């Protein structure tokens, strides 16, 4: 059996030069990474999607090398969603399936809320829908890093020390049952070490909190109408499973929540067989009108 190769390319999306990884031909599926991660997070998924008859594309999100650091420093979720909608058009398509993890998950459902006619189906991994998330004291404690990242200059020093040891710590905390030998953090650390890379990654959090705006909140809290498949790891040290209990209330179309025991934050990499099987079943389904 021949091996499906992943190629790399760069495309102009608005004012941004966006790098991406790609495999296969067919209907477009865009896979969006989060923090701390890169497009390489989907290197195991792209060939599976390609084999199933899809054109699978995983972009490096804005500010993540080799995608350019935007001159305006804009990391609002609505801007990230606009990048994705622009990427669909730049790739010559009218619509796509969106698969998003972490920040990529927020971006994916924000894009679906902004332009549901361009998003055929939606897969979200490890982040809640802001229109129906449950807050808890336990979750506030898990989110300590979010508040730390709001500080000026200190987080850059903290995260970059000892070859980004902070990142190793997050992975161990967020995915406590996942062997460290599977983390494969070299591409991520290289992206963060690129000029402006770490500040860009932290800029996502600073824009969400320090630069909070009503328009972003309105998009993230709006009811999502496209068919949606949501994944949560019950051992996630970043976002607890209790936060996702009411997610169905924020989705008016076909919806399924898949909760995986003993799995942490990086569901698509920690439990690839279960994740891939569920996604392929979802993509093969005919959404009810």
Set out the domains of the chain in order of their start, with CATH numbers.
Answer: 7-284 (3.40.50.1820)
Q: Is 279 helix (H, G, I), strand (E, B) or coil?
A: helix
The pLDDT value given to residue 286: 61
| DSSP strand pairing (7-13 vs 16-23) | antiparallel
The pLDDT value given to residue 289: 40
Among 18, 26, 19, which residue's Cα sits nearest to residue 48? 26
- In sequence order, which residues have a C-beta less than 8 Å from that of residue 144 and are 6 or more positions away? none
Rounded to the nearest 10°, the torsion over CA 92, 33, 21, 180 is -170
The pLDDT value given to residue 63: 97
The pLDDT value given to residue 2: 64
The pLDDT value given to residue 137: 81
The pLDDT value given to residue 1: 46
Among 116, 129, 127, 122, which residue's Cα sits nearest to residue 30? 122
Helices (H), ranges, 57-102: 77-90
The pLDDT value given to residue 135: 79
d(CA 21, CA 35): 17
Instruction: Give every residue of the chain whose pLDDT is below 50, as ranges.
Output: 1, 287-289
Residues 237/173, Cβ–Cβ less than 8 Å: yes
d(CA 122, CA 72): 29
Residue carrying the six token digits 């790609």 = 22
Please, what's the b/e burial string for 82-94 (b: 16 or more CB within 10 A of its CB; e: otherwise)?
bbbbbbbeebeee
């Amino acid at each position: 059996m021949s091996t499906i190769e992943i190629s790399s390319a760069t495309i102009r999306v608005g004012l941004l030069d966006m790098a991406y990884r790609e495999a296969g031909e067919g209907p477009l599926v865009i896979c969006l990474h989060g923090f701390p991660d890169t497009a390489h997070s989907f290197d195991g998924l792209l060939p599976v999607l390609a084999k199933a008859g899809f054109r699978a594309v995983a972009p490096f999100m804005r500010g993540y090398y080799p995608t350019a650091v935007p001159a305006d420093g804009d990391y609002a979720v609505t801007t990230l969603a606009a990048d994705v909608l622009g990427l669909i058009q730049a790739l010559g398509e009218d619509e796509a399936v969106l698969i998003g993890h972490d920040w990529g998950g927020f971006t994916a459902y924000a894009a679906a809320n902004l332009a549901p006619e361009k998003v055929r189906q939606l897969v979200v991994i490890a982040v809640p829908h802001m229109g129906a998330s449950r807050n808890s004291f336990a979750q506030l404690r898990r989110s300590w890093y979010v508040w730390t990242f709001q500080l000026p200059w200190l987080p850059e020093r903290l995260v970059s020390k000892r070859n980004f040891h902070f990142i190793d710590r997050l992975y161990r905390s967020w995915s406590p049952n996942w062997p460290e030998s599977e983390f494969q953090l070299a591409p991520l650390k290289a992206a963060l070490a690129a000029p402006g890379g770490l500040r860009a990654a932290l800029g996502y959090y600073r824009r969400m909190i320090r630069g909070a705006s009503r328009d972003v909140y309105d998009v993230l809290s709006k009811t999502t109408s496209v068919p949606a498949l949501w994944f949560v790891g019950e051992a996630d040290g970043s976002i607890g499973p209790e936060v996702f209990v009411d997610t169905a209330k924020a989705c008016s179309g076909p919806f399924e929540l898949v909760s995986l025991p003993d799995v942490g934050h990086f569901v698509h990499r920690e439990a690839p067989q279960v994740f891939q099987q569920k996604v392929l079943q979802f993509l093969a389904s005919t959404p009810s009108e």
